[in-house]
Structure 1
Amino acid sequence: MDSSGTFELTSSFAHLVARVAPESLPAMTDGPQLAPHGTTIVAAAFTGGVVMAGDRRATMGNLIAQRDIEKVFTADEYSVIGIAGVAGIAIELVRLFQVELQHYEKVEGIPLSLDGKANRLGALVRGNLDKAMAGLAVVPMLTGWDIERRQGRIFSYDATGGRYEETGFHAIGSGAAFARGSLKKTHHRDLGEDDAIAAAIRSLYDAADDDSATGGPDLARNIFPVVMSASARGVRQLSSDQVADITTRVLETL
């Protein structure tokens, strides 16, 4: 608020909320052991864009807190965000990020560049640093179609908001090491979209085989990963039936 008693308009929705209603920002008071955690998220680039997929399990200590949680979301028309870490804070952060992008476009009249989106997300993660130090960390991953470069790109983060661009593929969450090991064997730069989706689903299956916190495709309950792709056509989410068909084909080749 300036000396005249009015608020200066800013293109950052998060900064605006911090001034007028800081209590609305992501927050949690329960201890880490009481907070459901979500994992695992994978991303794989293909010739015309990038795919992101997330398993559906949330854990609370050694318990399965939820079997069908969604961890992959549309950020805007050309970008996708996936979340790992404390589920409650992470979902609030996603919603804030979505509004942040909408707010910027309304104020500035143009959408943020993909690099700008990646920087804004890093700032939001950094705002949760005090809770991360208390064990309530949120670690997102951002993918999207870069309109200027005409390619799909992948960005990862650490708990302090540090931003890193990944090449080819990446994974976050407790099953990340196993998922990346799987993608090393199946991913290459000339993959088409369908093959990239199949590689991502297989990597989640492989991660679930070794990591109890990662939920693989559940054929009995009809629960399958959430899969989205970003390309020059925009963001597309595969239907549950489409993911089920691809999953079935993947499992038949194992």
Structure 2
Amino acid sequence: MQETTANKVAAHSTSSFTEHLQRDRPELLPQYTPFASGTPAGQPLGVPHATTIVAMTYAGGIVMAGDRRATMGNIIASRHIEKVFPADQYSVLGIAGTAGIAIDLTRLFQVELEHYEKIEGTLLSLDGKANRLGAMIRGNLPMALQGLAVVPLFAGFDTAAGIGRLFSYDVTGGRYEEQEHHAVGSGSMFARGALKKLWRPNLPEDEAIAVAVESLYDAADDDSATGGPDPVRQLWPVVYAVNRAGARRVSERELATMAGNIIESRAAARREA
């Protein structure tokens, strides 16, 4: 008996855009990016890597920030890369790891959430978004084992609970909800040290943004792969704040003022020493 048109449509309809690609166009997925011939396992290609991302909760939401530097070995591949992106109206995604694959995964995740909203007529829950991202990272595991890993940081405002929440991942797609604050990337050890000292519960939004900028400044002070605020080139971190009103990108004017205050306060401390 031939399958009816309605049955064919039902068999192929899905709220997951990633599943649609896996079935019909798997070559378009980030994990199907071809390797150069002869590349040995565990020896990654010469590609840019993105670092460092920090995120924290504050009174009423979540803040995520990333520096602007990408490195390729001991070379600065870019001083202008953006590593924090809005995933949808109420969530943001920060990328660390192989930059090209991470950006492709970010774009696919954005389409995944938009596709779900159009098919289902409602936003996916924050837990649902975090789970779907984990599944996408798991799909990249074969490339991670070749040295092309993607380790994102995901955060958003949980409209059901009325709070900001933060999730980290490992290369297998394991999902871990972080409390208070977290950092990933090569400068994360130094950024976490700064966050432990500067963060406190129920920070106002402007203070949380200042803490994020200062933690990246500390990371850049000790990690050569992390770029600090650059007043000469007028380059500042990319920072997003997410609350009940949605996600907003913090303006460069605000960030320039905050970075200037941090630099001046530290210069003053050295003059007084």
Does the 8 A contact of 1:174 with 1:213 survive in 2?
yes
CA offsets, 1:16-47, max 9 Å, x none? 01111111111442562411000000001101
Where does residue 21 of structure 1 map in the other structure?
Answer: 25
Number of paired residues? 253
* Aligned mates of 2:216, 2:130 — CA distance in 1: 24
CA displacement at 1:3 relative to structure 2: 5.8
CA offsets, 1:27-72, max 9 Å, x none? 4425624110000000011011010000000000110000010000
1:245 aligns with 2:249: no
Where does residue 148 of structure 1 map in the other structure?
Answer: 160
What's the secondary structure of 2:96's corresponding residue? strand
* Aligned mates of 1:4, 1:63 — CA distance in 2: 58
Say which of 209, 212, 220 aligns to 2:232.
Answer: 220
TM-score, structure 2 as length reference? 0.90
Q: In the alignment, residue 94 of structure 2 is paired with which amino acid?
A: G
Q: In the alignment, residue 20 of structure 1 is paired with which amino acid?
A: D
What's the secondary structure of 1:174's corresponding residue? coil
CA offsets, 1:78-129, max 9 Å, x none? 0000000000000000000000001111111111000000000000000000
* Aligned mates of 2:78, 2:58 — CA distance in 1: 31
CA displacement at 1:243 relative to structure 2: 1.1
CA displacement at 1:252 relative to structure 2: 2.1
CA displacement at 1:190 relative to structure 2: 2.1
Where does residue 133 of structure 2 map in the other structure?
Answer: 121
* Aligned mates of 1:76, 1:163 — CA distance in 2: 19
CA offsets, 1:121-152, max 9 Å, x none? 00000000000000000000111000011000
Q: In the alignment, residue 249 of structure 1 is paired with which amino acid?
A: N
* Aligned mates of 1:4, 1:36 — CA distance in 2: 49
TM-score, structure 1 as length reference? 0.96
Rg (Cα) greater in structure: 2
* Aligned mates of 1:35, 1:54 — CA distance in 2: 19
* Aligned mates of 2:116, 2:244 — CA distance in 1: 21
Where does residue 92 of structure 2 map in the other structure?
Answer: 80
- Identity value in percent: 59
CA offsets, 1:136-188, max 9 Å, x none? 00000111000011000110000110000001110000000100000000001
Say which of 113, 117, 120 aligns to 1:101.
Answer: 113
Change (3 A) 1:223 1:105: same
Where does residue 55 of structure 2 map in the other structure?
Answer: 43
Alignment RMSD (CA, Å): 1.4
* Aligned mates of 2:64, 2:202 — CA distance in 1: 17
Where does residue 12 of structure 1 map in the other structure?
Answer: 16
What's the secondary structure of 2:106's corresponding residue? helix
Give the unaligned 5+ runs of structure 2.
Answer: 267-273
Say which of 181, 184, 209 aligns to 2:196.
Answer: 184
Say which of 173, 176, 183 aligns to 2:185.
Answer: 173
* Aligned mates of 1:180, 1:39 — CA distance in 2: 14
Change (3 A) 1:196 1:59: same
